[in-house]
Structure 1
Amino acid sequence: MTPPTSDTDRGVLSLRLAAIVAVLLGAGVVVGMAVQPDGTTGPSGEDALDRTAERYADADSFVGTVTLDVTVENETDRYERSARAQVQYLAPDGYRIDVLAPDRVANTTVATNGSVAWLDGPTGPPVVRSPNASQSERLDALNVSAAVEKLDANTSVTNRGTATVDGEETYVLDVAYTGATELPDDERYANVSEKLDEIEDTNLTVWVDTDDYRLHKVETVVTGAEGTATTTMRFESFRFDVAIDESTFRPPSDRRVVSGAFDRTSYDTLADADAAVDFAVSEPAVPAGFELQSAVVGTQGDRATVTGVYGNGTAEFLVVQSEQNPLARFDTDGESLTVGNETVTVVERGDTTVLFWEADGRTYGVAGSLGQDRLAEIAEPLVAAN
């Protein structure tokens, strides 16, 4: 679902899946017992990973495609997500991610030139601002070079041998972290940590090219009390030291731009979010099987936006209640629909339907891929309360 929320949340929620990978690569989870070498000749595991880190750190630029697949499963359920993106890097600070799949976030771009981070997507005008600490952290989480550096820090590595990946010979490295044993307490990893319950074991394997030490694949298997999560990243068609113009990392200049500082805090309950803002936050009609994943309070100046994220393991919908108008980027010539005593605007974006309206100087919205009628039912209590 393409999030129709605040400027910052649009990028954060769209790229949540990539953030899950970031923690598995770089947050310091402990990996299980390393496999002993099988007699292969070649560099030690630590040496191979050091050379991989140097390969990316020394690059003036690179371009490639990253494919991500995540599967969380237990005895009764299976949860799958996938994504594909082109990444471009230009030293020292240029980084760009162009999302290719899934369709709901395709054609979304997140980029930075070091001084400005920006987001551009199919649902509205570009968002441009100087990144705050949280936003910079999320951009770094999607940076291949940063991920490699984290792989190479505080680890012990075993070279298990060689294997062929996509027709290329690679060293197979088992990586064991010496850091913490749990995923961080952060809403970005709730889908993984909640589904697995207690983390019991994590195994991470890295495949690097035997010739030039490019990454070919990273696979993480996290075993918990309630199931297993498998995350696989493939690095395809990477080319180093290619010519990339600096304009690639600058914000678009031919369209209207939304800008401004934005801070966000995530809460576990809607009541906690309500206590953090100066207006009454209403409860939506939550369908059976769905529950609140997080309630995000975003502030821009003295105005606040509350975004409730609800899910059932396979689908999500969002509820926005705001003192500003974060939905203004949507076309206002959408269809009209009567919900209770309110006429709301309906906009379709791919498989996502957005219902939004204004009342008492605030903006309200419900969005998801559940269908217009079901979203209208979810919105009814908000309409009645406001």
Structure 2
Amino acid sequence: MRPTLGGRRRIALFVVVMATLAALTGAAITGGQSGQPSGEAVLNDTRDRYANAESVVTSAEITVSNGTANETTTVEFAAAGNQSRTVATTDNATYRAGVNETVAWYVGPNRTAAWDRESAVRPGRNGSASLDALSVDDENISVAYLREGSDDGTDAHVVEVTHDGDRTATSTLWIAQSDSRLLRVETTDGTNRTVVDYGDTQFNVSVHESTFDPPADRLAVTSVERYDTFDAVQANTSLDLPSLDATFREASVIRRSSSTTVAQQYRADGDNVTVVSSTSDREFESANATAVTVNGHTANVTTTRDRAVVYWRTDGVWTAVVVDGSEDRAVELARQLDE
């Protein structure tokens, strides 16, 4: 039996830790001894240390166990400004995910994906992790300062964070006293025990721009172009694009050696809507999808990352409508497309 934490989720573990820290403003303090810093103060210092750095480069060894099996992943992480890259290596596979000034991308053993970083669309579940999607409500978090300790001889603050939600999880964090960097995180959730041991973490170092580009041998993005009108984007692609009777905001065209993807952004009665057309031969993920009919097309509708998506394929072209709303709303908008 393997630990229940899947490969793609392992990629996001470093970001999960940082998302937890980012969510701690205003959390209740449940412990702490006289003369010691509060747990909240220690976490705030750590959050600020990472958030205010011009760049962060680190590595971590992540071990997940569930009582019957162990699985270890080595993760390398780099971030500079609004760009980042994560590389996760297991015994038999390597996963890479990143975002640069133009595109967000994912490269795994069997799948690749790239999309306009400004787009609301995230192909499948393979994209880089979102802090918003991973954050938790402050009212469900309690923080306690446990003690002073050491990690490999480094003086550390030891802080416990408990999240009581649908599934209770407790994390113990070792944080360097000298510079507020993360040293070690141990998390238990009743099923898995996850241990993250951080290697050498460097702040404000030079990171070359090419670090954040997708591997050219697996995912060649030739260009990303943006347009302000529907007529302009239609004139600059060979795809026959559908349109929506709503406020057109912008569109992007991502060209790869093997495919073209167009993402149109609309505002429809207060809803943000993305209409995607793509010649990619990669199938959209359809777990938990419901079959529907859209203008004569056999389609599927599902919800991912709080967005409803309805999608179908005709003559080798995928069409998808994504909305920050319900699945019924996504189907309603899809049926309004002028094809």
Task: Give the TM interval when normalised to the shorter protein.
Answer: 0.5 to 0.7
Match of 1:244 in 2: 207
Say if 1:119 and 1:219 are closer, same or farther in 2 by CA, change over 3 A: same
Counterparts of 1:79 and 1:212 in 2: how far apart (Å)?
Answer: 35
Q: Is the 8 A contact 1:206 1:219 kept in 2?
A: yes
Task: State which of 40, 44, 63 in structure 2 corresponds to 1:50.
Answer: 44
Match of 1:167 in 2: 153
Is 2:66 the counterpart of 1:72? yes
**Counterpart of 1:139 in structure 2: which amino acid?**
S
Aligned to 2:122, the other structure's residue is in SS state: helix
**Counterpart of 1:129 in structure 2: which amino acid?**
W
Q: Residues 90-147 of structure 1, C-alpha deviation per residue, up to 9 Å, x if partnerless? A: 11x1100122x213322x32111143012345558x6432145463995244x7xx89
Is 2:187 the counterpart of 1:220? yes
**Counterpart of 2:179 in structure 1: which amino acid?**
D
Say if 1:83 and 1:170 are closer, same or farther in 2 by CA, change over 3 A: same
Match of 2:171 in 1: 204
Task: State which of 82, 85, 88 in structure 2 corresponds to 1:96.
Answer: 85
Aligned to 2:105, the other structure's residue is in SS state: strand
Give the helix-richer structure, 1 or 2: 1
Query: Cα offset for 1:256?
Result: 6.5
Is 2:198 the counterpart of 1:235? yes
Q: Normalized against structure 1, the TM-score is what?
A: 0.50
Matches within 5 A, 1:368-383: none
Task: State which of 98, 103, 110 in structure 2 corresponds to 1:116.
Answer: 103
Q: Is the 8 A contact 1:66 1:236 kept in 2?
A: yes
Q: Residues 279-307 of structure 1, C-alpha deviation per residue, up to 9 Å, x if partnerless? A: 89xxxxxxxxxxxxxxxx995764569xx
Percent of aligned pairs sharing the same letter: 25
Say if 1:22 and 1:56 are closer, same or farther in 2 by CA, change over 3 A: closer
Q: Is the 8 A contact 1:217 1:232 kept in 2?
A: yes
Counterparts of 1:18 and 1:254 in 2: how far apart (Å)?
Answer: 21
Matches within 5 A, 1:287-366: 299=311, 302=314
Match of 1:6 in 2: none
Counterparts of 1:152 and 1:274 in 2: how far apart (Å)?
Answer: 33
Say if 1:140 and 1:274 are closer, same or farther in 2 by CA, change over 3 A: closer
Say if 1:230 and 1:35 are closer, same or farther in 2 by CA, change over 3 A: farther
Q: Is the 8 A contact 2:31 2:143 kept in 1?
A: no
Query: Cα offset for 1:273?
Result: 5.9
Higher relative contact order (CA 8 A, sep 6+): 1
Say if 1:298 and 1:63 are closer, same or farther in 2 by CA, change over 3 A: farther
Alignment length (residue pairs): 236
Counterparts of 1:238 and 1:245 in 2: how far apart (Å)?
Answer: 17
Aligned to 2:194, the other structure's residue is in SS state: strand
Say if 1:89 and 1:122 are closer, same or farther in 2 by CA, change over 3 A: same
Match of 1:347 in 2: none
Counterparts of 1:14 and 1:229 in 2: how far apart (Å)?
Answer: 14
Counterparts of 1:237 and 1:51 in 2: how far apart (Å)?
Answer: 19
Counterparts of 2:175 and 2:209 in 1: how far apart (Å)?
Answer: 29
Counterparts of 1:152 and 1:206 in 2: how far apart (Å)?
Answer: 19
Q: Residues 200-229 of structure 1, C-alpha deviation per residue, up to 9 Å, x if partnerless? A: x43222111101000112222112xxxx32
Matches within 5 A, 1:243-262: 243-253=206-216, 257=220, 258=256, 259=259, 260=261
Query: Cα offset for 1:152?
Result: 10
Q: Is the 8 A contact 1:216 1:234 kept in 2?
A: yes
**Counterpart of 2:85 in structure 1: which amino acid?**
R
Q: Is the 8 A contact 1:34 1:175 kept in 2?
A: no
Say if 1:80 and 1:34 are closer, same or farther in 2 by CA, change over 3 A: farther
Is 2:165 the counterpart of 1:176? no
Structure 2 unaligned runs (5+)? 1-5, 221-255, 262-275, 300-308, 320-339
RMSD between superposed Cα atoms in Å: 4.2
Structure 1 unaligned runs (5+)? 1-12, 183-198, 281-296, 306-386
Query: Cα offset for 1:172?
Result: 0.6
Say if 1:242 and 1:210 are closer, same or farther in 2 by CA, change over 3 A: same
